[in-house]
A and B are shown apart, each in its own frame.
Chain A
């Protein structure tokens, strides 16, 4: 079903909206949640919470890009859950991805204290828009969706080593970009 029709169902308070959302985006949601949290039960809980959030938010909200809207909700909820899980020493794809970034960017510089988080986000977005389609989406699949290297390799029909190589180069470019824009203080 078209996203607009699903949103219309939310607006008329039809429970069919949840069913249609699950049909269309259920797999994406559970995959994203499971990449962040440690077990399937937690992931399902995040997805159910996401549907509840959608139900509460629409209306009055009318998301322009429904898929991104859902993904962001799942991601936020799953990361909250992951924060709790990390406190209990559990690991996930997300923590692995974060460690990759620590090794190449955070370990080499910290964001300056005075900057606004939104400005840094804009700088990162500007960087992502400046690189090629494939590098951008591999980067986002890894650090936004926290996909595993093997999943990304399958998605983009390339070898895992090539994915790693592409991520390595993108991380270095991002580091250079952030340095150039003055968002990082060299340690």
Chain B
């Protein structure tokens, strides 16, 4: 037997069912289309938000660094940066100091290798962060007086100010450079051989800031 019986039976269904089938259509949203619509709306909103955010970001002009305000070690000690004052640790001098002066921040690393002490002060601010960090220790190791012009060429520094180079009371040579870029102290390299000179060297740095 074929399924004609079923088709014939369907012929006898009530008029209301037939009428319903005649007018039947999906009245609600087509789910996939609805999802596409929602996704499109979300994309547009996100795009607008992102554009606005980028616009605001571009409007933010980096604040000009404030003029560098030098501080001595004693001033640092009485300031909120007191915790950053370097401490001497026995015969191995691995010290760090970091602080912020206005918008100009610096990080100084004091370390000792054999009889030599190197003090690096690496400036970094919003503008100069990661731009002027220069390791001059290798130069300092071999130079009792380093030609600042050579340094300028070596590290592509715009302005290099030679401060002083002098012999300490203990007969050690302290070579001191003040590396300036746009008015900021960029780096010092101090070479010494005895512990006493370290304190002196640090003091000198601070004096030089003045």
**Which A residues lie at the B interface, using CB under 8 A?**
28, 63-65, 67-69, 71-72, 75-76, 79, 94, 97-98, 101-102, 105-106, 110-111, 117-118, 120-121, 124-125, 128-129, 133-134, 136-137, 140-141, 143-145, 155-158
Main secondary structure of the interface of B (DSSP, over half): helix
Q: Give the chain B neighbours of A67 by CB distance below 8 A.
A: 18-19, 22-23
Given contacts A121-B12, A137-B21, A140-B17, 20 further A-B contacts (CB under 8 A): A64-B15, A65-B18, A67-B22, A67-B23, A69-B15, A71-B18, A72-B18, A76-B11, A94-B7, A97-B7, A101-B6, A102-B2, A110-B1, A121-B11, A124-B10, A124-B13, A133-B20, A137-B20, A140-B20, A144-B13
Per CB-CB distance, the 6 closest pairs between chain A and chain B, nearest first, are A106-B3, A68-B15, A137-B24, A68-B18, A65-B15, A121-B12
> With A106-B6, A121-B9, A125-B13 given, is the CB distance from A158 to B26 under 8 Å?
yes
A–B pairs, 20, beta carbons within 8 Å: A64-B15, A65-B18, A68-B15, A68-B16, A68-B18, A101-B3, A106-B3, A106-B6, A117-B5, A118-B12, A121-B10, A140-B13, A140-B17, A140-B21, A143-B6, A144-B11, A144-B18, A155-B24, A155-B25, A157-B33
**Does the CB pair B11–A72 fall under 8 Å?**
yes
For the complex, what is the distance from the CA of A52 to the CA of B30, rounded to whole Å?
Answer: 40
Given contacts A137-B20, A144-B18, contact A120 B7 (CB under 8 A): no
B8 within 8 A of A: yes
Measured between beta carbons, the chain B residues less than 8 angstroms from A105 are 3, 6
Count of A-B contacts with CB under 8 A?
108
